Amino acid sequence: MIPTPDLSHLKKTDYDNVYEPAEDTFLLLDALEEDAEELKAMQPRLCLEVGSGSGCVSSFMGSILGAATSLYLTTDINSFASRCTSRTGTQNKIPIDSVTTSLVSSLLPRIQRAVDVLIFNPPYVPTYTSEAQEAQDGRDIRGAWAGGINGMQVTDMLLEHVEDLLSSNGRFYLVAVKENNISELQQRMRQQYDLESKIVLQRKAGREHLHVIRFSRS
């Protein structure tokens, strides 16, 4: 078992501003661990996590692949999250380049078709469209959960870029809930972008039925 990253440096005041790792985070870690041998065999050069929050997931990827084998790049709209991610990387001896930006639009020209492992645990909770937009505009902790109509408002913004981001053998790991209409999402990605998918893990956590979907080129 790969140890969960050390988060002892983060205090309660940090979690007032940054999403604290929860069931969805740990399901994502379990999915990455299940694919660990395949991920190591890929020898990824660039791992990108969108919405890094505490930095737990990218630090875990570093534990799987090694600190020196890949470039670990993260983005988050929340400047508190960017700083926490960098601190978590340092705490776990994983060098993480953390960028405060909205999704990946500003980075896309520089990393087009270069991402070997793309990870997104999005704000997937269904809310009013206005609530999701206000959360994104506010660039604070609300942006970690308010997902808009069907919980897909923010996710859809990234999905438009996935095909342009992934390398020829790249993988995209996405956390989703049942309300996100997962079968329709998989079909859309296959038809529009020729990306095949598989549900790596799923788990019920309270009222949420969580899934981790893995996409790759067909």
- Give the model confidence (pLDDT) of 137-196 as tens digits: 898 898 898 899 889 999 999 999 999 999 999 999 999 999 999 999 999 999 999 999
Six token digits for residue 105:
């639009």
Greatest extent of the chain over all pairs of C-alpha atoms, in Å: 44
Query: Residue 108: its pLDDT value, please?
Result: 80
Task: Kindly list the distances between the CA atom of residue 97 and the CA atoms of 63, 70, 182, in Å, as whole numbers in the listed order.
Answer: 16, 11, 31
- Give the model confidence (pLDDT) of 22-43 as tens digits: 999 999 999 999 999 999 999 9
CB 54 within 8 A of CB 84: yes
Which DSSP symbol is given to 146? B
Question: What's the CA gap between 178 and 96, in Å, rounded?
Answer: 32
Which DSSP symbol is given to 149? G
Question: Which domains, from first to last, does the chain contain?
Answer: 19-217 (3.40.50.150)
Q: What is the pTM of this model?
A: 0.96
- Give the model confidence (pLDDT) of 106-139 as tens digits: 788 889 999 999 999 999 988 999 999 998 889 8
CB 133 within 8 A of CB 148: yes
Residue 88 has pLDDT above 80, yes or no: yes
